[in-house]
Amino acid sequence: MTAATAAGRIAALALAALLLTGCSIVADALGDGETGVFTLEVGDCLNDSGAKGEVSSLPVVDCDEPHDSEIYASVLMEGDEYPGTDATVQFAETACYDRFEDFVGIPQDESKYGFGTLYPTLDSWAGGDREVLCRIVLGDSTGTPVLTEGSLRGVEE
């Protein structure tokens, strides 16, 4: 691995960590082009690099249009009681890491792409939310999001 590749991977992972950290209950009114987080599906492409913290909706675009992330997996958590933020984050990160290779075609450690997660919060868990969504992302060497067109399924990069 070259230093440039390592720096790019580190930047992509830093970007993923800064992106979305959780979901919250969807508000009744959504902005133009926004989709409620509870209606997002595997295969949806997003322009969500500006979103931080808890979110209720995100901008979904056609995957043929420029976008900065794509949902590549959905995993359901189990249990009646909220396991806490740390345990939820750990579950989400492990689940998304484990499913990355099935989507991209190579292990995440060998990919130029990083991943981010959407996961239940205490409030959304109380409302029945158990879904973790995994998002593939790409950032440049400074962590700035890089737009792509088309799905990243099977890109093997």
Count of residues making up the chain:
157
Residue with tokens 């991977």, as numbered in its chain: 9
Output the pLDDT for position 82.
98
Angle value at C-alpha 14, between 54 and 111, nearest 5 degrees: 115
Task: Record the pTM.
Answer: 0.79
Q: How many helices (H) and strands (E) does the chain have?
A: 3, 8
Share above pLDDT 90 across residues of the chain, in percent, rounded to a whole number: 66
Q: What is the mean pLDDT of residues 114-125?
A: 95
Ordered alpha helix ranges (H), the chain: 3-18, 85-104, 122-126
Structural Rg of the chain based on CA atoms: 15
Mean pLDDT (whole number) for 130-139: 94
Of 4-13, 64-73, 92-101, 104-113, the range with the lowest mean pLDDT is: 4-13
List, for residues 5-43, the tens digit of each pLDDT value.
Answer: 333 333 333 333 333 444 433 333 334 578 999 999 999
* Predicted pLDDT at 127: 95
pLDDT, mean of residues 104-111: 95
CA nearest neighbour of 48 among 26, 22, 11, 28: 22
Residue 51 or residue 19, greater confidence: 51
**Where along the chain do its domains lie?**
3-137
Question: Residue 109 pLDDT more than 80?
Answer: yes
